[in-house]
Structure 1
Amino acid sequence: MDFSAALIEENRLLRDLVRDADPAAPVPTCPEWTLTQLVRHVGRGDRWAGMIVRDRADAPVDPRAVPDGKPTGDLDDWLAQSPQVLLDAVAATGPDTPVWTFMGPRPAAWWIRRRLHETVVHRADVALALEVPFVVDPAVAADSVSEWLSLVVGRKVDTPALAAGTTLHLHATDDGLGEAGEWLVHGGAEGLTWEHGHAKGAAAVRGTAAELLLALLRRLPAERVQVLGDAEVVHTWLARTPF
């Protein structure tokens, strides 16, 4: 997947949604945010990531220090330019150059994929707020699920989302995804792991890749996807995987 092109496209789709909407409209899935606050969050996030990459940061960067972190002119133009700030920084620094991330040092290009999927989810937030359909390329949605699982298993937590020996199976029903649309998440003594694959687990969740993504991130209730097996495994997972 071309993550750079996908990030630009998702940014365009987000801008199309908010351009004629009430900027003061609330976003229920992001409590206390308005559409304007969500747009500023997305745009500044891209620019923040760009600053991290440009400066080859090896420690957290204060988002308040981001150049042009707040729009001073046209909000649509500012948002349109935001992902390019990151892409230009990655090109200048080198995609394989290690930089700081909240998951530890990663290649600079890591941030492009991260910002892509942040934008996907927040576009869903806007669609839900405006009560319009959320349509996303199944391949992008499936990669969003994979990226989300990688974030979850990479966190150090006191209470794991799955008990040792428990497996959760996720199955996207979209045509053509193949192995990229199936995930097995395993609870183990050393923590969580995941892999692409098909096998019986304590519970299975079926739906389109977009539905799985939104359910995993608690944008849709679990009842909107098909849950097979031990439903408590799924509910526990959801309760223990906020980010």
Structure 2
Amino acid sequence: MTLLGHDRYCDEVVGQTDLLRSHLAGADLSVTVPTCPDWTLRQLAVHVGEAHRWAEHIVRTRATKNVPVEQVADFDGPEDDDPAALDAWLVEGAEKAAETFRAAGAGTAAWSWAWEHTAGFWARRMAHETVIHRADAAIAAGVTYEVAPELAADAIDEWLQIVRFAQEKYPDAAAQELRGAGRSIHLHATDAEPGLDAEWLIEFDDKGVDWRRGHEKATVALRGPLTSVLLAFYRRLPLDSPEVEVLGERELLEFWLERATFG
């Protein structure tokens, strides 16, 4: 696994937020987000902006423990429903987060809930937080969603790390059920650019899951354009979508998707 670089992640926090804003422009912010049905489109946007401000606060203050989001200034967005105010609030939060992450440097210590406690972790996490929720916004707004191939591939890598971390850290996590040697999942991007290794083998083991990039046979395969594979793997695209193809034991892939959840 090769990370994209700290500066790239910082850039993407702003760039992906700009694309998110473009999805929101002119949209009905009161509609329910199909892929996050507990939220309206406005609530989704506020969630992203809140995450940016929370992570920025953690890195800027060099926090050594969790910080309740209520302690973060202006975390809950504009008081009124003015789309222009929401737009400005999103811009401010993303730019401030990227500036703080960049100034701190990737290796600077800062609390996190995960396997790495650095500003670099937060830059990467906020980049992909925005990448995936931007897909939610695009789906809700009915607009086209595209993401750079190397960013999509890195988002899959990060998700696999999160699932394995949940297995190691949380005894009650649904991901604990993703065990048992002899089963495997192959993700295959059919439109990968030259030089981008956009295939994964995910292997189940009695100790948890492991993965590597590469083309290998598996119990079940998920094939399609890289963006579609990303969205299906994040449960943003149904497996019966014409954009992806499932080969082999579909039940295993469904088993994974039901249990590989965030938090």
TM-score by length of 1: 0.93
Distance of 1:160 and 1:21 partners within structure 2: 40
Assess, with a 3 A threshold, how the Cα gap between structure 1 residues 162 and 177 changes in structure 2: closer, same or farther: farther
Map residues 1-243 of structure 1 onto 2, 5 A cutoff.
1=4, 2-72=8-78, 74-156=85-167, 157=173, 159-176=176-193, 178=195, 180-224=197-241, 225-243=244-262
Distance of 2:194 and 2:160 partners within structure 1: 17
Tell whether the 8 Å contact from 1:35 to 1:126 is kept in structure 2 after alignment: yes
How many residues align? The count is: 243
Identity of aligned residues (%): 40
Structure 1 letter corresponding to 2:143: V
Q: What secondary structure, in the 3-state scheme, does the structure 1 residue paired with 2:246 have?
A: strand
Tell whether the 8 Å contact from 2:186 to 2:201 is kept in structure 1 after alignment: yes
Structure 1 letter corresponding to 2:67: V
Distance of 2:46 and 2:225 partners within structure 1: 29
Tell me whether 25-34 or 100-109 shows the greater mean CA deviation: 100-109
Tell me, which stretches of 5 or more residues in structure 1 are unaligned? none
Distance of 1:173 and 1:7 partners within structure 2: 27
Tell whether the 8 Å contact from 2:150 to 2:196 is kept in structure 1 after alignment: no
Tell whether the 8 Å contact from 1:166 to 1:186 is kept in structure 2 after alignment: yes
Q: What secondary structure, in the 3-state scheme, does the structure 2 residue paired with 1:193 have?
A: strand
Q: What secondary structure, in the 3-state scheme, does the structure 1 residue paired with 2:202 have?
A: strand
Q: What secondary structure, in the 3-state scheme, does the structure 2 residue paired with 1:206 have?
A: strand
Assess, with a 3 A threshold, how the Cα gap between structure 1 residues 134 and 223 changes in structure 2: closer, same or farther: same
1:162, distance to aligned residue in structure 2 (A): 4.4
1:180, distance to aligned residue in structure 2 (A): 3.0
1:15, distance to aligned residue in structure 2 (A): 0.5
1:200, distance to aligned residue in structure 2 (A): 0.8
Tell whether the 8 Å contact from 1:166 to 1:201 is kept in structure 2 after alignment: yes
Tell me whether 41-50 or 226-235 shows the greater mean CA deviation: 226-235
Distance of 2:180 and 2:229 partners within structure 1: 21
Tell me whether 47-56 or 126-135 shows the greater mean CA deviation: 126-135
1:178, distance to aligned residue in structure 2 (A): 4.3
Distance of 1:72 and 1:23 partners within structure 2: 14
Distance of 1:152 and 1:12 partners within structure 2: 28
TM-score by length of 2: 0.86
Distance of 1:205 and 1:117 partners within structure 2: 21
1:206, distance to aligned residue in structure 2 (A): 0.6
Distance of 1:86 and 1:154 partners within structure 2: 25
Tell whether the 8 Å contact from 1:54 to 1:92 is kept in structure 2 after alignment: no
Distance of 1:160 and 1:37 partners within structure 2: 32
